[in-house]
Amino acid sequence: MENRRVLIDALPQGKLAADHYKLVHEPVPEAGDGEVLCRTLALTIGAGTRAGLQGSASYAGAPRTGVVMNGTTVARVVASRADGVAEGDLVVCPGGWQDYSVHAASEVSVVADGVDPAHYLGVLGTNGLTAYFGLLAVGEPQPGQTVLVSAAAGSVGHLVGQIARIKGCHVVGVAGGEAKCARLVDELGFDAAVSYKDDGFRAAVKGACADGVDIYFDNTGGDILGTALRLMNVHGRIVCCGVVSQYDTSDPAPGPRGVPGLLVNKRVRMEGFLVFDYRDRYAEARQALSGWMDDGSLTVWVDEVQGLENAPAAFVDLLAGGNVGTRIVRVADA
Amino acid sequence: MENRRVLIDALPQGKLAADHYKLVHEPVPEAGDGEVLCRTLALTIGAGTRAGLQGSASYAGAPRTGVVMNGTTVARVVASRADGVAEGDLVVCPGGWQDYSVHAASEVSVVADGVDPAHYLGVLGTNGLTAYFGLLAVGEPQPGQTVLVSAAAGSVGHLVGQIARIKGCHVVGVAGGEAKCARLVDELGFDAAVSYKDDGFRAAVKGACADGVDIYFDNTGGDILGTALRLMNVHGRIVCCGVVSQYDTSDPAPGPRGVPGLLVNKRVRMEGFLVFDYRDRYAEARQALSGWMDDGSLTVWVDEVQGLENAPAAFVDLLAGGNVGTRIVRVADA
């Protein structure tokens, strides 16, 4: 029995490529006292982890090579030497891109069997919680307000738009390409969706947000943020969730014109957040998200890739906009 | 009897100059039914009005030539045909740069005689109220936190720093030149002050904010904002009050690098505000500010220029950083 591990082999200068990673085969580690050994079932790949590979330290700390690539996993406990976690438990843990990982009991969260484990990496995991708290706690939507969301077909964005719809808002998505945009409207009930690749992008967003923008949920930064800033209504909120336009580079662009001038004129609040600050309210959010799934008002898009060895290519493809919904890599059967 | 009026003669392309204005002599207007005729005693010049002369519409609307330059004034009512305002009353009104102005009664606020009328344009006027609500309502300072303020020797900034000191914060100011910085520390009790003109500016700010920055009160935008962004603590607040670095130009610079990326990593809230949104709480603020003046904890800097005809030059000088505290132009004796 061996442990396949995907290590960071080199830090990208410019765009990320699959060969910045290497796959190694090592012995399966053992759980020490108070620890558990976990078998990875699936891992999620999010654009935000690209920021962790940039030279400057992100909230995740400075990047290093020779270590396993980080990522949240859903896993089966195959050996436990810790109280409160038993062999056979399904857990969510920071397992990274490998078959097996060892964790202190405090690092793993036991979750219920009975739903697709991948949901714990998507709608019931960080992505869903991020959509929920970012929109509701930071954005504070009111019925009838206009919510604009970028990377709207992405893991967080496709949930943000639907939660906004559920809350009675006029919802406009920005995504890459006509196909994604059509699916946002037809399958998820967005009021409109605009491709940022279109020449008439700015005018189209303005047309779709005829009453201005009350909440812009920003997953991208860059030009889309610049466009949104000019459409913000007085006392609007910009929820700064991610900066995917700036992740896959070593040379982030300047901030948008209009910051801070337009913020003053329109009394706009622009607020960065991380979901971990809402830890105490996760149960409330998961209950709400599950309820919306159960009653059919929330559709969850999962974008699956098979096999640990394909994780690097799946990440590169994700950064190029290849995914729809939460990208999951299946590593082993449940 | 004539009415001297300073008109906007040309909109600046690039830097503002005194000859963008012209002084004209016209007859004194008459108050109509429900109106009052006011004799200007003093007017205030703030950097923010420069934004109103830029091509794009600010919150004040699009700029026009051939009209009297706008500005808040303190004035004596010399004729009244309105209920509730009597001849002889002291009022604050949007009189602009002229000897006489006519207003609907709803446009003027009657204020008490007994203090220097200029205070109604400074500490008890828009500047003081802006400092009060921007710091306390938007910034939400807690004792022991570090407050960094730019344009710290300016009309708003010198009050912000002192209110922060009164609230028990560690206060660091940024101003132009050693002389202003020394006065902030020696006369107003700032813990430190740094000149943005110094080569070692960034390192000096970092040194003065050894525990990071919890609140950055931004009057300038530009490089100082960029420096502050990198020093923000987790859950810090950036109070966007003004953008003086970008007013005296027709070509505002891009926003700072790090927006929105650093906002996410540090969960920073960046919020624009205008004091008018706090109208309902002006009385509370004026009472607090008066109390601090009376007990000696708040020192008010007034920077006086004599004569309406000198207003244009005083404005140009202000934009070049020539003032300390609130710049007032005395137009007539009380």
Residue B257 DSSP label: T
ipTM at complex level: 0.87
Residues on chain B touching A258 (C-beta within 8 angstroms): 252, 255
**Can you give the pLDDT at residue A236?**
98
A275 DSSP assignment? G
In this prediction, residue B56 carries a pLDDT of 57
Q: Is B83 exposed, middle or buried, given 0-12, 13-18 or 19+ CB atoms closer than 10 A?
A: exposed
Cβ separation B261–A270 shorter than 8 A: no
Query: Which among A51, A266, A270 has the least Cβ separation from residue B270?
Result: A270
Per-residue tens of pLDDT for chain B, all 334 residues: 899 999 999 999 889 999 999 999 999 999 999 999 999 999 999 888 888 888 655 556 678 899 999 999 999 999 999 999 999 999 999 999 999 999 999 999 999 998 888 899 999 999 999 999 999 999 999 999 999 999 999 999 999 999 999 999 999 999 999 999 999 999 999 999 999 999 999 999 999 999 999 999 999 999 999 999 999 999 999 999 998 888 777 776 788 888 999 999 999 999 999 999 999 999 999 999 999 999 999 999 999 999 999 999 999 999 998 889 999 999 998 7
- Residues of B whose CB is below 8 A from A262: 272
SS3 B39: strand
Question: Are B100 and B3 in contact, with CB atoms under 8 Å apart?
Answer: yes
Chain B residue closest in CA terms to A262? B272
Return residue ranges of chain A for CATH 3.40.50.720: 126-276
Question: CA-nearest residue of chain A to B61?
Answer: A265
- Which residues in chain A are contacts of B58 at CB distance < 8 A? 265
CA A95 – CA A108 distance, rounded (Å): 9
* Superfamily in which the A2-117+300-330 domain is placed by CATH: Medium-chain alcohol dehydrogenases, catalytic domain (3.90.180.10)
Query: Residue A61 has what pLDDT?
Result: 67
CA distance B231 to chain A (A): 14
Residue A220 has pLDDT above 90, yes or no: yes
Tell the CATH superfamily of the A126-276 domain. NAD(P)-binding Rossmann-like Domain (3.40.50.720)
Q: Is the CA virtual torsion A318, A323, A327, A330 positive or negative?
A: negative
The answer to whether A267 contacts B273, with C-beta atoms less than 8 Å apart, is: yes
pLDDT at position A227 over 70: yes
* Residue A59 Rama label (left phi>0; alpha psi -120 to 50; beta): alpha
- Choosing among B230, B271, B274, B276, which should be mutated to test the A contact, i.e. which has the most A CBs within 10 A? B271
Query: Is A183 strand, coil or helix?
Result: helix
Both tokens of A5, joined, read: 């591990």
| Mean predicted lDDT score pLDDT of chain A | 94
Q: How distant is the Cα of B76 from the closest Cα of chain A, in angstroms?
A: 31
Just give the CATH number of B127-276.
3.40.50.720
Nearby residues of A67 by Cβ (< 8 Å), 6 or more positions away: A7, A8
Q: Give the minimum alpha-carbon distance from B24 to chain A in angstroms, rounded to a whole number.
A: 32
Instruction: Give the C-alpha separation, A145 to A136, whole Å.
Output: 13
Q: Mean pLDDT, to the nearest integer, of A262-268? A: 94
A255 and B252: CB-CB below 8 Å? no
- A261/B225 touch (CB, cutoff 8 Å), yes or no: no
- How many helices (H) and strands (E) would you count in chain B? 9, 15
The predicted structure's pLDDT at residue B63: 82
CB contact under 8 A, A271 and B263: yes
Cβ distance of B273 and A252 shorter than 8 Å: no
A:B CB pairs within 8 Å:
117
Question: CATH code for B2-122+300-330?
Answer: 3.90.180.10
Predicted pLDDT at B59? 59
Residue type, A135: L
For A19-47, what is the mean pLDDT? 96
pLDDT at residue B255 in the model = 84
pLDDT in tens, A118-163: 899 999 999 999 999 999 999 999 999 999 999 999 999 999 999 9
CA A165 vs CA A192, A301, B151: distances in Å: 12, 16, 43
- A264 neighbourhood in chain B, CB within 8 Å: 59, 240-243, 272-274
Entry pTM: 0.90
The CATH 3.90.180.10 domain(s) of chain B lie at: 2-122+300-330
Q: What is the pLDDT of residues A65-117, one digit of tens each?
A: 999 999 999 999 999 999 999 999 999 999 999 999 999 999 999 999 988 88
Residue A56, pLDDT above cutoff 60: no
Q: Is the pLDDT of residue A48 over 90?
A: no
Alpha carbons A329 and A327: distance in angstroms, whole number: 7
Choose, out of A56, A216, A235, A263, the residue to mutate when testing the contact with B (most B CBs < 10 Å).
A263
User: Would you call A272 and B264 a contact, using CB atoms and an 8 Å cutoff?
Assistant: yes
- Residue whose C-alpha is closest to residue A182's, from A170, A163, A195: A195
Unique residue bearing structure tokens 């005829």: A210
